Amino acid sequence: MRNILFSPTKILVVLGTFSLVLAFSFARPSKLDSANLIQVKDTLQSSRLSINARVDATGTTAGGSKVKLKTSASAPANTISTANLGIGTSLTIGTGAYVVSGIIDADEFSVTPVLAAGDADDDDVIYFKSKPRHVVTFITTTAIPDGYFRVLLPADATNPNDQAPDDEGFDFNSGVDVLSSDIGNYDFVTGVATASGGSGCTSPANYHCFEVHYSGNGGIGTTITITIGNTSGTNTPIAPATGTAHTEATADTYNFQVKNYNSSDTAIDSSTGKIALIENVRVTATVEPSISFSIAGIGTGTSVCGVSPSIDTSSGTNAPLAVPFGSLTLNTFKTAGHNLIVSTNAANGYVVTAAENDQLGKDGATTPNIVDTPCDSGPCTHLAAQDWTTATNNGFGYSLQNIDAASIAFQYSDGSWNAKQFADLSASEAPQTLFNSSTVANAENAYVCYRISVGATQQAGDYENQITYTATGTF
């Protein structure tokens, strides 16, 4: 009788993090002297605030990966926690580009690559530039021929065009694309973007101007759509960072304006709406490490390694943890099989190994024994497989048949019933790999095919040994 044992090893906790973006925008038109445009709204691709923070040199070191934030605000650097960060967020730190690799606590995080010299000094900038596309829509109330629409986005009073996140409005960035599609009596030309304070964009103060001019008679009740920026973030305004009076988890709101001008540059219709921006919600979850390994018996009706099994390992005493060859006929093969099945969520997969405690010994003793097979030539060893089709080459060995494993050490079909010896622990032979994977696995399996034959000089008696199968996950 042969007892077959198995044991999974090693575990590691894996964090998965995800970012949930809250997006909302709304409009509350104000009563103006001119007529109001209707249903004015600016739908942002993302309502995520930008980040403008500072390095705290205490706990931040060049050549290291940990970054500590200053926890007191100093406008415009009003971001003082990691609440709006997430793994994968791209940052500017000092003058270098980095990616967040982990959130340590409320004011510390890690990055990749390691911090370069000059990027870990006290008060070095930390920027995340949120660049959502704006889709501004509204309904016209007056037919104004050959005019233009102007969208005004709030801008910082101090640095509205320095390509860094501001705390009072949108930064103009290096340039902005503006587009509107022709509709009805509106034939549009390429839009024009002007930074706050630029020519023709001085009143009201502290707004960026985005214009789309058209030819045609205009119309009443026409829905107009103007896009500012791109979904890729190129040529797109940089969203505001945390404001001076910001409260975490409460949106900072900003007014924007939409105006319809005639050909004499007089605003005929206009409305004001609001934009709300807030931190990302960082969603985290833990997937516990797991590995399962099972040994299933195989009946005589299932082919194993190209032959019909001589015995059933799926039923009977101690099944499936037994290979009861029973009485052997001289110089005649007997074959049996087991199905080894592995599942694991280990990122780097698994490996299944096997070893015997000793050769098959009489009554479990060391000698006499049924020797490990020499195969037909070579001879085969626990390291090297050889063909084994001649039953007079007596001994005990095994082969493999891949069913669903990612990779297998060898197979019976690699030759004329290719076989090996089991690694013998009593001879200090190391367990050998049967099959493995380099990534996660769901019910991957292979057959182990046992084969035995004895000659006339084999002493009568009962022989047994034990084989240990081990499945190890690499987390």
CATH number at residue 196: 2.60.40
Residue-wise pLDDT tens digits, 234-276? 999 999 999 999 999 999 999 999 999 999 999 999 999 999 9
Query: Residue 87's pLDDT band (boundaries 50, 70, 90)?
Result: very high
The verdict on residue 27 lying in a domain is: no
Is the same domain home to 95 and 144?
no
Find the mean pLDDT for residues 67-94: 97
Which of the pair, 13 or 435, is modelled with greater confidence? 435
Q: Which pLDDT belongs to residue 378?
A: 80
Predicted local distance difference test score (pLDDT) of residue 469: 98
- 302 in the same domain as 236: no
User: Could you read off the pLDDT of 138-162 as tens digits, one per residue?
Assistant: 999 999 999 999 999 999 999 999 9
Query: Is 28 among the domain residues?
Result: no
The 3-state secondary structure of 208-251, one letter per residue: EEEEEEEECCCCCCCEEEEEECCCCCCCCCECCECCCCCCCCCC
pLDDT band at 16 (very low <50, low <70, confident <90, very high): very low
* 25 is a domain residue: no
pLDDT over 90 (residue 25): no
Same domain, 172 and 205: yes
What is the pLDDT at residue 21?
30
Residues 333, 241 share a domain: no
| Residue 469 and residue 323 share a domain | yes
Question: In the prediction, which pLDDT does 28 show?
Answer: 37
Average pLDDT estimate for 276-298: 95
pLDDT digit string, tens, across residues 89-134: 999 999 999 999 999 999 999 999 999 999 999 999 999 999 999 9
Residues ≥6 apart with Cβ < 8 Å to 280: 19, 20, 21, 22, 48, 84, 86
**Mean pLDDT over the full length of the chain:** 92
| Domain count across the chain | 3
Judgement on whether residues 165 and 304 belong to the same structural domain of the protein: no
For residue 165, give its domain range. Answer: 33-43+133-279
Please compute the mean of the pLDDT values over residues 212-221 and round it to a whole number.
Answer: 98
State whether 238 and 319 are in the same domain.
Answer: no
- For residues 163-174, average pLDDT: 97
Residues 178 and 251 in one domain: yes
Average pLDDT over every residue of 323-351: 98
Q: What is the pLDDT of residue 395?
A: 98
Q: Which of 44, 255, 229, 261 lies closest to 150 in space, CA to CA?
A: 261
CATH code (residue 114): 2.40.30
Question: Which of 79, 103, 128 lies at the terminal end of a domain, its last residue?
Answer: 128
Least confident of 6-10, 183-187, 318-322: 6-10
Please, which pLDDT band fits residue 352 given cuts at 50, 70 and 90? very high
Last residue of a domain, one of 279, 299, 329: 279
- Angle 188-191-195 from CA coordinates, rounded to 5°: 155
Domain annotation covers residue 20:
no
pLDDT at 30: 37
Tens-digit pLDDT profile for residues 395-422: 999 999 999 999 999 999 999 999 999 9
Q: Given a cut of 60, is residue 4 above it in pLDDT?
A: no
User: How many whole angstroms separate alpha carbon 54 and alpha carbon 126?
Assistant: 5
Task: Tell me: do 138 and 124 sit in the same domain.
Answer: no
My answer on whether 246 and 353 are in the same domain is: no
Same domain, 251 and 159: yes
Per-residue pLDDT at 3 = 35
Is 398 in the same domain as 453? yes
In a domain, 224, yes or no: yes
Identify the pLDDT of residue 466.
Answer: 97
| 250: in domain | yes
Q: Is pLDDT of 375 > 80? A: yes
User: Does 383 reside within a domain?
Assistant: yes
| pLDDT beyond 80 at 11 | no
Q: Does residue 357 lie in a domain region?
A: yes
> 112, 128, 144: which is the final residue of a domain?
128
Q: Quick count: other Cβ atoms within 10 Å of Cβ 120?
A: 24
